[in-house]
């Protein structure tokens, strides 16, 4: 799995490539918390377009990111969910808890 | 379907291959040389009556019983020649939910579910806490995290054990009678969870059951074990339409015919008594 961040206006976009599992989800958690808690970015967008599989630890890391962003009054957005990733969020009853968009343009345009 | 499938070489998509497996308890052979494959990402239901050998088969697959001969291949590794490191690696990828639950009574439900995550991963406590709550929610036990197993009903203990079995999102999940003893609504919830787990986490799931309604909901394929032999292997539809007498008897819930002759029965009851 690879993670990189880039800036688009006031949004920080986190691009994730590869499967997210028990062994690499701490990396995502670290990047999310660093940006939200330490750098206090106003809006973080997670690009999951290149993620075919996400396990429960990955979901838990996203939940932590969402919770911290709410505490910091920042915006936490997901886009590009694969059918399997969507299925995992649905199984966890989280699909409606997260702000989810189909693609990057929609995520950036979200008001 | 049928016995021909037993001799098919391991397919590329096989997650588990069983070859000529024999298991004995003392001098009594329970499994008489059975062979079949369980494919990656499928739910295989092992059916059979009481004493058929189905639970022995499951226990042997997970290493709780020792085969007297034959081979079990899991993820391309022969279990008989697997190193301790191979087996440890495999254990991280397996989930098991057995009858009775086997929860640790001294720990809370949450600690029980967290146990495999604490043993096998370096995840942060906050991540583990969220995962435990997700798993408990998936089995309908939200809010029971701090209960001790002794404070739960039998059905709740069983669901807590399922939550622990799925804590690591295992690649292969083994269930022994997952819905036995549960009320119909909860049992349907477990069936539903099995279907969703397979789809969401690409799990290979092996379920031993004699609950036919449940089997038809969750199974991609079924294998019917009878007296230590495989009598049928196929999709639910193939078994449903099979004309094999033993399959028909099982599908149609026909009682075993009376096999005792009166004098044999008397002999069996009084065998060893003084005249």
pLDDT tier, B8 (very low <50, low <70, confident <90, very high otherwise) = very low
Check if the beta carbon of residue B167 is closer than 8 Å to that of residue B114.
yes
Q: Which residues of A touch B199 (CB under 8 A)?
A: 84, 87
Of B274, B253, B230, B251, the closest CA to residue B1 belongs to: B230
Which residue numbers of A have CB closer than 8 Å to B's CBs? 21-23, 25-26, 29, 53, 55-57, 59-61, 63-64, 84, 87-88, 90-93
pLDDT (0 to 100) of residue B215: 93
**B256 touches A at CB < 8 Å:** no
Q: Which residues of B touch A88 (CB under 8 A)?
A: 200-201
pLDDT (0 to 100) of residue A38: 94
State whether residue A74 is helix, strand or coil. coil
Q: Which residues of B touch A33 (CB under 8 A)?
A: none
pLDDT (0 to 100) of residue B23: 96
Check if the beta carbon of residue B72 is closer than 8 Å to that of residue B14.
no
Q: What is the pLDDT of residues B190-218, one digit of tens each?
A: 898 899 888 888 899 999 988 888 999 99
Of B68, B82, B61, the closest CA to residue B16 belongs to: B61
Q: How many residues are recorded in chain B?
A: 275
pLDDT (0 to 100) of residue B101: 65
pLDDT tier, B70 (very low <50, low <70, confident <90, very high otherwise) = very high
Q: What CA–CA distances, in Å, run from B254 to A44, B250, B257?
A: 62, 7, 9
Q: Which residues of B touch A90 (CB under 8 A)?
A: 200
Q: How far is A44 from chain B (nearest CA, A)?
A: 20
Of B173, B163, B253, the closest CA to residue B207 belongs to: B173
Q: Which residues of B touch A53 (CB under 8 A)?
A: 201-202
Q: How far is A94 from chain B (nearest CA, A)?
A: 10
Q: Which residues of A touch B169 (CB under 8 A)?
A: 21-22, 55-57
B26: region left, alpha or beta (phi > 0 left; psi from -120 to 50 alpha): left
pLDDT (0 to 100) of residue B3: 42
Percentage of residues in chain A with pLDDT exceeding 70?
100
State whether residue B9 is helix, strand or coil. coil
Is the pLDDT higher at A35 or at B269? A35
Closest CB to B130 among A22, A23, A64 = A64
Q: What is the average per-residue pLDDT within B156-160? A: 88
Q: What is the average per-residue pLDDT within A3-18? A: 97
Backbone angles phi and psi of B239, in degrees to 5 = -70, -35
Check if the beta carbon of residue B189 is closer than 8 Å to that of residue B135.
no
End-to-end CA distance of chain A: give it in Å, rounded. Answer: 30
* CB contact residues (below 8 A), chain B span 52-81, against chain A: none
pLDDT (0 to 100) of residue B11: 60
Q: Which residues, 6+ apart, have CB-to-CB distance to B98 below 8 Å?
A: B161, B176
The residue of B94, B114, B120, B124 whose CB has the most chain A CBs within 10 angstroms, and thus the best one to mutate to test that interface, is B124
Check if the beta carbon of residue B211 is closer than 8 Å to that of residue B219.
no
Q: Report the distance separating Cα A93 and Cα B200, nearest Å.
A: 13
Angle between helices B109-120 and B154-165 (to 10 degrees): 20
Q: How far is A9 from chain B (nearest CA, A)?
A: 31
**Domains in chain A and their CATH numbers?**
2-80+92-102 (3.30.750.24)
Q: What is the pLDDT of residues A85-96, one digit of tens each?
A: 999 999 889 999
The ipTM value here is 0.94
Q: What is the average per-residue pLDDT within B67-78? A: 94
């Amino acid at each position: 799995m690879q993670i990189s961040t880039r800036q688009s206006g006031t949004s920080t976009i986190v691009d994730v490539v590869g499967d997210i599992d028990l062994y690499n989800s701490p990396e995502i958690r670290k990047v999310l918390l660093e940006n939200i808690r330490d750098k206090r970015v106003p809006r973080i967008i997670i690009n999951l377009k290149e993620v075919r599989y996400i396990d429960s630890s990955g979901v838990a890391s996203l939940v932590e990111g969402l919770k911290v962003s709410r505490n910091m009054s920042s915006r936490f957005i997901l886009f590009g969910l694969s059918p399997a990733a969507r299925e995992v969020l649905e199984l966890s009853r989280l699909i409606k808890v997260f702000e989810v968009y189909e693609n990057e343009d929609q995520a950036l345009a979200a008001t | 379907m049928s016995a021909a499938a037993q001799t098919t070489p391991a397919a590329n998509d096989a997650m588990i291959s069983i070859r000529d497996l024999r298991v004995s308890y003392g001098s009594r052979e329970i499994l008489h040389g059975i062979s079949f494959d369980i494919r990656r990402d499928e739910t295989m239901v092992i059916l059979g009556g009481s004493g058929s050998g189905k639970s022995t088969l499951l226990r042997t697959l997970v290493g709780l019983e020792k085969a007297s001969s034959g081979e079990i291949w899991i993820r391309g590794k022969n279990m008989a020649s697997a190193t301790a490191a191979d087996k440890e690696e495999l254990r991280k990828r397996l989930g098991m939910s057995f009858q009775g639950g086997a929860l640790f009574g001294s720990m809370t439900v949450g600690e029980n579910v967290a146990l495999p995550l604490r043993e096998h991963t370096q995840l942060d406590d906050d991540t583990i806490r969220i995962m435990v709550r997700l798993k408990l929610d998936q089995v309908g036990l939200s809010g029971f995290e701090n209960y001790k197993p002794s404070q739960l009903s039998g059905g709740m203990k069983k669901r807590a054990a399922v939550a622990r079995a799925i804590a690591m999102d295992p690649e292969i999940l083994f269930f022994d009678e997952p819905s036995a003893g549960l009320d119909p609504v909860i049992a349907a919830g477990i069936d539903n969870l099995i279907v969703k787990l397979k789809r969401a986490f690409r799990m290979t799931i092996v379920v031993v059951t004699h609950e036919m309604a449940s089997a038809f909901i969750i199974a991609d394929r079924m294998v019917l074990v009878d007296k230590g032999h495989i009598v049928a292997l196929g999709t639910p539809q193939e078994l449903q339409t099979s004309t094999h007498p033993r399959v028909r008897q099982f599908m149609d819930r026909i009682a075993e015919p009376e096999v005792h002759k009166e004098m044999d029965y008397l002999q069996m009851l009084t065998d060893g008594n003084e005249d």
